Amino acid sequence: MSRRIEELLARGDVEIRGRIAWSSNDARLVSVADRSGAAMEAVYKPRRGEQPLWDFPPGSLYRREVAAYELARALDWPIVPETVLRADGPLGPGMLQRFVDHDPRVHYFVLLDDRPDELRRFAVFDVVANNADRKAGHCLLARADDRVYGIDHGLTFHALPKLRTVIWDFAGEPLTGGERLALERLTRQLDGALGRRLADLLDPDEVVATRSRTVALLHAGALPEPEDGYRSVPWPLV
pLDDT, tens digit, 9 for 90 and up, residues 132-160: 999 999 999 999 999 999 999 999 999 99
Rounded distance, CA 192 to CA 210, Å?
Answer: 13
- Write down the pLDDT at residue 21: 81
Chain Cα centroid distance, residue 146? 18
Say yes or no to pLDDT of 1 above 80: no
Rounded distance, CA 142 to CA 50, Å?
Answer: 26
* Nearest CA-CA partner of 126 in 234, 5, 230, 3: 234
| 152-210 pLDDT, tens digit each | 999 999 999 999 999 999 999 999 999 999 999 999 999 999 999 999 999 999 999 99
Q: ω before 236 within 30° of 0 (cis)? A: yes
| Relative orientation angle of helices 116-129 and 61-75, to the nearest 10 degrees | 130
* Nearest CA-CA partner of 107 in 115, 96, 97: 115
pTM: 0.96
- Write down the pLDDT at residue 230: 86
Query: Are residues 110 and 211 in contact, defined by beta-carbon separation less than 8 angstroms?
Result: no
| 64-122 pLDDT, tens digit each | 999 999 999 999 999 999 999 999 999 999 999 999 999 999 999 999 999 999 999 99
* Nearest CA-CA partner of 58 in 225, 209, 232, 203: 203
Rounded distance, CA 231 to CA 202, Å?
Answer: 25
- Write down the pLDDT at residue 138: 98
Other C-beta atoms lying within 10 Å of the C-beta of residue 209: 18
Any bridge partners for residue 106, and if so which?
Answer: none
Rounded distance, CA 81 to CA 56, Å?
Answer: 23
- The predicted model gives 29-56 an average pLDDT of 95
- Between residues 212 and 35, which one has the greater pLDDT? 212
Other C-beta atoms lying within 10 Å of the C-beta of residue 25: 16
Residue 178: HSE in the Cβ half-sphere, 13 Å Cα cutoff: 8
φ, ψ of residue 212 to 5 degrees: the values are: -65, -40
Residue 2: HSE in the Cβ half-sphere, 13 Å Cα cutoff: 13
